Amino acid sequence: MSDPKKNKWLKVFSQSGHAAVRLICFPYAGGSAQVFKNWAKWLPKSIELCALQYPGRGSRFTEPAITDMTEMLDALEANLTGVLDKPFVFFGHSLGAGIAFDLTRRLEKKGFEPKYLIVSGRNAPHVEVDREEVHSLPDPEFQAKLAEMNGTPQEVLDHPELMELMLPLLRADFTLSETAEFDKETKVNCPMAAFGGLKDEDVPEEGIEGWGKYSDNFKYHMLPGDHFFLAAEQSEEALLRGIVGYITK
């Protein structure tokens, strides 16, 4: 098995020889591994914190972003199996939830089963919600939608040069998320939990509860906040308590 620190797909934020479980986090659209960096201070030493670094950001800034879900899953399957040498948990938010879910189903066929799959901020695949697709909107409308979603800092939205750099990456990630076609029937074998934001207009409670269709061992939780509730201090703490609770069961 390979060292996670030598895997370009991963950033390792806490590592201990005593860690019993490896928590691997999947970022949302436009996000990098760094969005999970601060979680290290909340987690016990028994949990090793890693986060995916997708192409097109951070240390992989010069690589083209992936816009096709099959290509993304093929790459992850090829590059992550070497670090699944200890019990592991997948956590994904929004786009990351969809990737983590489908990757889990793939890996389970190869004999790699997570201790837990935790999804957040994304509707279950079979739940139909009237939501406007944004990946093909012209730049002004696309930026307006980003501002509505409250996931891009205002100082970035107001900085033309930064937005010129960020827009292709964000559009690629939304294309990946909105054009993915998921199997709406096949369950995962592992236990599963889902988290949602009470004020998330795009992912209502029924979209979070709907994930129960895909696991025989499932619970869900609704937390204060909008789509990016995981970045709000109160909700982030509650989310992490929940994650740790599932991991240490």
| Burial class of residue 89 in the structure, from the number of CB atoms within 10 Å of its CB (0-12 exposed, 13-18 middle, 19+ buried) | buried
DSSP 8-22: TTEEEEE--TT--EE
Structure tokens that stand for 63 in this block = 């690589």
The single-letter DSSP state of residue 69 is: H
Q: Catalytic amino acids?
A: 94
Q: Are 122 and 203 in contact (CB under 8 A)?
A: yes
The DSSP code for 248 is T
* φ and ψ of 11, to 5 deg: -115, 130
CB atoms within 10 A of CB 111: 8
